[in-house]
Structure 1
Amino acid sequence: MPFPPSPRARSGPRRRSLLAVAPAALALTGCTGGDSGGPSGDDPSAADRLRARAARDSERLAERYDAVIAARPGLAGRLRPLREEVVRHARAFGGGRKASPSPSVSDSSSASASASGAASWWPSPAATVPGNDKDALAGLAAAERELADRRVKALGGVPGELARLLASVAAAGAAHVYLLTEGAA
């Protein structure tokens, strides 16, 4: 007899998708530390470009958090810890120029101004903040999910240390998706 479907529709990552990152992360932790070039002769400039892009992506995600916090002040307490972790990710990748502390709730104009340099793959955060909390959280979750997926896909051809960092930040992004959709941050 088959099990009846769950009465509540689940959103966000499933355990299987969260665990899909774990084997890659575990396999990468067995690599020797400080491996910058890798035995395959990876171009260091390609790794540097990937690291810079990952830093920019995290900075833009922090800007998106800023925009939601400014537009939906009731979510600030829930979102600030996640935003601070995104800022730490940007710094870990070597960024941090634009990932300054979150603007105050009353300073929404600075959030809009900092959001104006958003990447072409991501619309301006200020322009995309929905009018209700549920949709604002869903938008952040979608942005986190898309970025985590791109980072997992980039794992294959990068040196050990950068691959470990990408895997770790992708796993954190998947956890953020869960916290934004089902858990309480």
Structure 2
Amino acid sequence: MRRTGTTRRGALTATGALALGAVLTGCGDDDKSPGRSGPVRTEAEAVRAEKKLRTTAAHTAALTLAHYDLAAGAHPDLAEGLAPLRAAVREHTEALSAGGGKAAAPPAAGPVSTDATAALKELAAAERRRADAHAEALLTAEPELARLLASVAGAAAAHAYLLTELAKETSS
């Protein structure tokens, strides 16, 4: 004899279908949807905001790149170990500048410590500041730029960790 009425499997299937439908309707790109909170931007405003975010992020990356150059110049024995991280920061700067934001030539990052361990710690702190700045910019970025910023922020955090570990090895 076949059961009639609502079964547990049927209820779970219906609940899952309703939840999936709710999620899919919330994923639209329509800026004028009534459920979206915050101000609605015009296309020109969105372009200006993205350009400003890119310019700021590229400048932050360029400052960190200058810091790498100063550290490698002051401590030639560290240059080989810093080269891959410096190359990645250069690529981040180029990627962030690609959308129209231009990274102005940054001023020198300041004097570098004469102690190699301290210089590495300073560089790790610069990378942490870069990661924090990019992560903060995520809050107002459009989705495509937000993905780039999240990736660059993650890389900067990884660089900070690697530099901290290199500083530990250098001190011993």
Q: Residue 22 of structure 2 aligns with which residue? A: none
Matched, 1:165 2:148: yes
Q: Residue 66 of structure 1 aligns with which residue? A: 69
- 5+ residue gaps, structure 2: 1-26, 32-39
- Contact 2:55–2:102 (CA under 8 A) maintained in structure 1: no
Large movers: runs of 4+ above 4 Å:
95-99
User: What is the alpha-carbon root mean square deviation over aligned residues?
Assistant: 2.6
Q: TM-score, normalised by structure 2?
A: 0.66
CA distance in 2, matches of 1:165, 1:43: 16
Structure 1, residues 19-77: CA drift from partner, whole Å, max 9, x if none? xxxxxxxxxxxx79xx8xx7253622011111011112211211110011000001011
Q: Residue type matched to 1:170 in 2?
A: A
Map 1:23-34 → 2, pairs under 5 A? none
Structure 1, residues 113-157: CA drift from partner, whole Å, max 9, x if none? x7xx42xxxxx32x3200111100000000000111111111111
Matched, 1:134 2:117: yes
Matched, 1:147 2:140: no
Q: Residue type matched to 1:141 in 2?
A: A
Q: Residue type matched to 1:88 in 2?
A: E
Match of 1:49 among 49, 52, 61: 52
Q: Residue 24 of structure 2 aligns with which residue? A: none
Per chain length, whose mean CA-contact separation is higher, i.e. which structure has more relative contact order (CA < 8 Å, sep 6+)? 1
Matched, 1:175 2:158: yes
Matched, 1:77 2:60: no
Q: Residue type matched to 2:151 in 1?
A: S
Structure with more helix by fraction: 2
Q: Which has the larger radius of gyration?
A: 2
Q: Residue type matched to 2:92 in 1?
A: H
Q: Residue type matched to 1:182 in 2?
A: E
Percent identity at matched positions? Answer: 42
Q: Residue 21 of structure 1 aligns with which residue? A: none
